[in-house]
């Protein structure tokens, strides 16, 4: 089994995409309050992700890897069509749900959401390029499974309670993810000596760093989902683990 096959298999078994919240979401079993909470909290990922990805791009030394990251960032920004900018598509989803954009942008993040966003930013902009690429790989390779939980649940909600829901953001992303996965596969090939690029394959240490970055971002994502999960009355939400080196606040 190649390194790519090993790490992809690890991603597809992770709790970031196999958890009680996503299982419940896929059936549409959410209260109106939970639907709105999901919509606002997930918006933080949509609006901050281009900045996070750009930080990774400008900190990437390997030009072949930078080429693949550029493709993903260009896709996020609409592939040259401003109306397809992903964050704008998400705003259309919020508006269709009757959620004010200013309110969504200024609502304080849950601690688990903030841990996810700040953790992802720290990993992507890390000077450890193998770790940063591992984080990017983990996020892009879990995405199809994530959308395949979210879209069925939203479809149920649209049919039963939210007839005006605009699902374009979610459906559009699901259609694009195979391209993003291929970009990450090419990026790994470029730095692991599999695509004819004239550099030595990743060392064992670099592969360990890659795995650490991959598992870290997936752990943060799992925490994000479980931060939205139902809790018994009186339950205390656990504090997220601190993100090393991330002391400043994100500003919307």
pLDDT at residue number 185:
61
The first and second tokens of residue 93, run together, are 């989803």
Domains of the chain: 3-227 (1.20.910.10)
Q: What separation, in Å, do the N-terminal and C-terminal C-alpha atoms of the chain show? A: 43
Q: Give the Å distances, CA to CA, from 206 to 26, 130, 202, 219.
A: 36, 6, 6, 20
Compute the 3-state secondary structure of the chain and give helix, strand, coil in percent, each to the nearest 5.
70, 0, 30
- The pair of structure tokens assigned to 27 is 């059936």
93 to 19, 150, 252: CA distances (angstroms)? 24, 14, 19
HSE toward the beta carbon, residue 42, CA cutoff 13 A? 21
Exposure on the CB side of residue 61, measured as CA atoms within 13 A: 7
pLDDT in tens, the chain (252 residues): 788 889 999 999 999 999 999 999 999 999 999 999 999 999 999 999 999 999 889 888 888 888 888 988 988 899 889 889 999 999 999 999 999 999 999 999 999 999 999 999 999 988 898 899 899 899 989 999 999 999 999 999 999 999 999 999 999 888 776 565 566 666 666 555 544 444 567 889 999 999 999 999 999 999 999 999 986 444 434 334 444 433 343 444
Which pTM does this prediction carry?
0.84
């Amino acid at each position: 089994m190649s390194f790519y096959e090993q790490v992809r298999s690890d991603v597809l078994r992770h709790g970031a995409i196999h958890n009680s919240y996503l299982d419940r979401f896929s059936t549409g079993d959410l209260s109106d309050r939970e639907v709105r909470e999901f919509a606002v909290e997930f918006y933080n990922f949509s609006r901050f992700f281009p900045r996070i990805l750009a930080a990774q791009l400008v900190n990437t030394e390997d030009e072949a890897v930078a080429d693949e990251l550029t493709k993903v960032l260009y896709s996020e920004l609409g592939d040259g069509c401003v109306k397809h900018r992903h964050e704008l598509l998400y705003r259309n989803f919020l508006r269709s749900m009757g959620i004010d954009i200013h309110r969504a942008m200024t609502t304080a993040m849950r601690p688990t959401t903030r841990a996810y966003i700040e953790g992802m930013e720290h990993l992507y902009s890390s000077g450890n390029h193998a770790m940063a690429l591992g984080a990017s790989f983990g996020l892009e390779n879990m995405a199809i499974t994530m959308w395949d939980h979210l879209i069925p649940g939203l479809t149920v909600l649209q049919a039963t309670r939210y007839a005006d829901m605009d699902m374009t953001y979610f459906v559009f992303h699901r259609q694009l993810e195979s391209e993003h996965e291929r970009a990450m596969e090419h990026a790994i090939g470029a730095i692991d000596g599999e695509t004819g690029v004239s550099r030595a394959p990743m060392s064992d240490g670099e592969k360990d760093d890659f795995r650490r970055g991959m598992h870290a971002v997936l752990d943060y994502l799992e925490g994000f989902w479980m931060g939205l999960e139902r809790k018994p009355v009186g339950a205390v939400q656990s504090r997220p683990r601190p993100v090393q080196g991330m002391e400043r606040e994100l500003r919307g």
